[in-house]
């Protein structure tokens, strides 16, 4: 099955398919840089929300070299593990190592608070810290796991339904799930949906197959990526390469 088979599956998908991962990284970086530049021109600042994992490393490196006014860009994470910022599994460390480099070193990075007494306190403190910058999100780049999770919307997560609830009033929530490893912090569905531009960055045939399967399920909570794709107002651009 080819990734192109995704195209007719759901009207919420706008598939952007590339022959190589390098070509994907270049195209995605140029798209993001253009939107951020537009936000700066319009409001004087722009906000970029990105995901962790190994998939975006090349994209981060390519984006960091783009020539925009990075001093007026705020970067945040879609989600984070509740670990020390210098822990190798911290998404904050990934951002420091791969995105806050080159020209993008001038950007402001707003991390989650991960030093609270428990996950709930970390979520409350993180929401307070991030809230002012969540008012105008220009770009959100999502990833996806092979279990169908995106952000920290994990199948059977303890706060999954609240995280997806458009009426919850929450912007940051904690998440415990068997497949998550450490306790997590994540932006909620209303925050992601409010972004001006939402893209899903996936690579490899396995991820394409996972997404196709998720969109074909009757119960979206089984693979929560389907909840995001099906409920985002504009079609989600899926950037994919083999």
For residue 158, report the phi and psi dihedrals to the nearest 5 degrees.
-65, -25
Reduced to 3 states (helix: H, G, I; strand: E, B; else coil), residue 36 is: helix
Q: Residue 238: its pLDDT value, please?
A: 97
Query: Residue 213: how many CB atoms within 10 A of its CB?
Result: 15
Contact by Cβ (8 Å): 19, 241: yes
Rg (C-alpha) for the chain, rounded Å, is 17
Q: Residue 11: its pLDDT value, please?
A: 81
The per-residue pLDDT string of the chain (242 residues; one tens digit each, 9 = 90 and over) reads 355 556 545 688 999 999 999 999 999 999 999 999 999 999 999 999 999 999 999 999 999 999 999 999 999 999 999 999 999 999 999 999 999 999 999 999 999 999 988 999 999 999 999 999 999 999 999 999 999 999 999 999 999 999 999 999 999 999 999 989 999 999 999 999 999 999 999 999 999 999 999 999 999 999 999 999 999 888 999 999 99
Positive or negative, the Cα torsion across 45, 42, 69, 28?
Answer: positive
Q: Residue 136: its pLDDT value, please?
A: 95
Strand (E) or helix (H) holding 201: strand 197-203
Contact by Cβ (8 Å): 93, 85: yes
Query: Residue 41: how many CB atoms within 10 A of its CB?
Result: 10
Q: Residue 179: its pLDDT value, please?
A: 87
CA–CA separation, 61 and 57 (whole Å) = 6
CA–CA separation, 242 and 127 (whole Å) = 36
Residue with tokens 């929450």, as numbered in its chain: 170
Instruction: Domain ranges for the chain, please list them.
Output: 26-138+150-241
Task: Indicate the fold that domain 26-138+150-241 takes in CATH.
Answer: Rossmann fold (3.40.50)
Predicted model pTM: 0.96
Q: Residue 1: its pLDDT value, please?
A: 39
């Amino acid at each position: 099955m080819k990734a192109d088979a995704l195209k007719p599956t759901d009207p919420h998908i706008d598939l952007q398919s590339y022959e190589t991962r390098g070509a994907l990284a270049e195209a995605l970086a140029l798209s993001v840089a253009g939107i951020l530049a537009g936000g700066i021109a319009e409001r004087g600042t722009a906000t970029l929300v990105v995901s962790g994992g190994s998939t975006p490393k090349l994209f981060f490196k390519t984006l960091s070299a783009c020539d925009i006014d990075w001093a007026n860009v705020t970067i945040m994470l879609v989600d984070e593990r509740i670990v020390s910022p210098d822990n190798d599994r911290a998404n904050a460390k990934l951002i420091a190592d791969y995105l806050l480099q080159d020209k993008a070193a001038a950007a402001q990075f707003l991390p989650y608070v991960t030093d609270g007494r428990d996950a709930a306190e970390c979520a409350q403190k993180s929401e307070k810290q991030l809230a002012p910058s969540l008012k105008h999100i220009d770009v959100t780049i999502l990833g996806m796991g092979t279990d169908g999770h995106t952000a920290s919307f994990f199948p059977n997560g303890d706060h999954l339904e609240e995280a997806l609830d458009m009426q919850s009033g929450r912007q940051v929530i904690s998440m415990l799930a068997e497949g998550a490893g450490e306790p997590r912090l994540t932006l909620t569905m209303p925050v992601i949906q409010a972004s001006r531009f939402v893209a899903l960055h996936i690579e490899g045939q396995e991820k394409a197959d996972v997404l196709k399967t998720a969109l074909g399920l009757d119960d979206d909570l089984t693979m929560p990526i389907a909840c995001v794709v099906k409920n985002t107002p504009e079609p989600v651009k899926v950037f994919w390469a083999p």
